[in-house]
Amino acid sequence: MPNQEVQFEIAGRIHRLRFTANAEYRIEGILGRPIFRIAEHGLGARELQAMFWGALEGARLKHRDRAEPWTLDEAGDLIDALREHGRNPLALTMEAWTLAHPLPAAAANAANTEGAAAEAGLPLLKTVSPASGDGMP
């Protein structure tokens, strides 16, 4: 199984983010809604800190390398420290999320194609079947 976590260093200590089932359960408890619906409501500071905290906890529980659970405040302190060192905590969090929830190959290829077309400023041409009722001959 490929690596499912992201590592980063702050003040000489290695920290890990990992989205596990236990992490996602905890995040849902903090936010009061299903984790897969976060994007529908927007990703704000509360959601970022809860997801970052949950991923810290997921790694802690998986590796059992820290006796005390992470607190939300400690997660916020690490987010601040990352920013102070020019790192993007949202990007790290989303990288860990993507590692834990990889897209199926077909969806990943489609996303890459759409992203490449958008970056080049080109429209993405999609093939449509005549049987779909789109009026094409």
Asked whether residue 126 carries a pLDDT value surpassing 50, the answer given is no
Cα–Cα separations (whole angstroms), residue 62 to 9, 26, 121: 19, 14, 43
Q: Would the pTM of this model clear 0.85, i.e. be above it?
A: no
Joined tokens for residue 45: 């500071």
Joined tokens for residue 26: 């905890």
pLDDT, one tens digit per residue, over 26-81 is 999 999 999 888 878 788 999 999 999 999 999 999 999 999 999 999 999 999 99
- Please report how the helices 72-84 and 89-100 are oriented relative to each other, as an axis angle in degrees rounded to 10: 120
State how far the Cα of 54 lies from the Cα of 71, in Å rounded to an integer: 10
Joined tokens for residue 36: 């897969």
